[in-house]
Amino acid sequence: MALSVETESHIYRALRTASGAAAHLVALGFTIFVTVLAKPGSSLFSWHPVLMSLAFSFLMTEALLMFSPESSLLRSLSRKVRARCHWVLQLLALLCALLGLGLVILHKEQLGKAHLATRHGQAGLLAVLWAGLQCSGGVGLLYPKLLPRWPLAKLKLYHATSGLVGYLLGSASLLLGMYSSWFTGTVTGGAWYLALLCPVLTSLVIMNQVSNAYLYRKRIQP
C-alpha cells in the first residue's frame, strides 16, 4: 500500500529529527570520551585531543545544526539570532583548534619531533586554516554591506558549501587521529570501532542537514 505524500513527509521529517538528535548526542559523547581518555592537564599533549575534539566534533556540529529546521536547539529563535550564535560557536571552535594546534607544535618541539609528518597532522593543519578562512568569510554575511557587489544569496550558498567542506576536513582529521599511536595504544577492540563511527555519523547527518536547510530556506523565501 502506497503512502500518501503527507505521510511520507512526516516520516522524512521524523527521521531527520531523530538523526539530528543522534548527531547532538554523538558529538557531545565523543568529546567527553576523548576528554576522559586524554586526562587534560596530565601532560602538555593531553590538551591537544581535547581541544581538537571540542572544536571539530562538538562546537562545529552545533554551529552547523543551528540552521536545521528540525535539529536546531534554538529553532524557536529568529534567524538573525541563530546566525549570531552560529558565528560565536564557529569562532570558539577556531580558537580551540588554534590552541590545540599550537600546543601540539610546542609538544613536538620539546621532543624534537618533525612537524606535519603524518596524514593526521597535515589534515589537521588544513582543517584549521580552512576554519580560519571560513570564519573570515562569515563576516561578510554578518555585515553584507562590506561586499556590496556580491548577491547575498550567492554568498550564503558559497559559505554553506565551504563550511561543509571545512567540517569534513575536520572530521577527516579526527578519523586519522584515531590511527595515531596514542589513540590505538589507549583504545582497542570494539571501543575503537565505535569511536571511529562517531565522526562518520555526524558527517553524514551534517551533509544531509546542511543541504536540506539550504533547500528549505529557498522554499520559504519569496
Q: What is the pLDDT of residues 32-59, one digit of tens each?
A: 999 999 999 999 999 999 999 999 999 9
Cell of 20: 539530528
**pLDDT greater than 90 at residue 162:** yes
Confidence of residue 222 (pLDDT cuts 50, 70, 90): very low
Q: What are phi and psi of 44, to 5 degrees?
A: -65, -40
Confidence label for 150 from pLDDT (cuts 50, 70 and 90): confident
- Does the reported pTM lie above 0.75? yes
Tell me how far apart the alpha carbons of residues 203 and 64 are, in angstroms, rounded to a whole number: 11
State how far the Cα of 6 lies from the Cα of 8, in Å rounded to an integer: 5
Q: Which of 147, 168, 211 is nearest to 57 (CA)?
A: 168
Q: What is the DSSP letter of 59?
A: I
**Whether 162 contacts 127, CB under 8 Å:** no
Strand, helix or coil for residue 69:
coil
Would you say 72 and 82 are in contact if contact means Cβ atoms under 8 Å apart?
yes
For the chain, give the longest Cα–Cα distance. 67
Residue 215: the pLDDT is 56
- 141-159 as b/e: b if 16+ CB within 10 A: beeeeeeeeeeeeebbeee
The percentage of the chain sitting over the pLDDT mark of 70, rounded to a whole number, equals 92
Is the pLDDT at 206 greater than 70? The verdict is yes
Rounded Cα gap, residues 187 and 190, in angstroms:
9
Render pLDDT for 109-139 as a digit per residue (tens, 0 to 9).
999 999 889 999 999 999 999 999 999 988 8
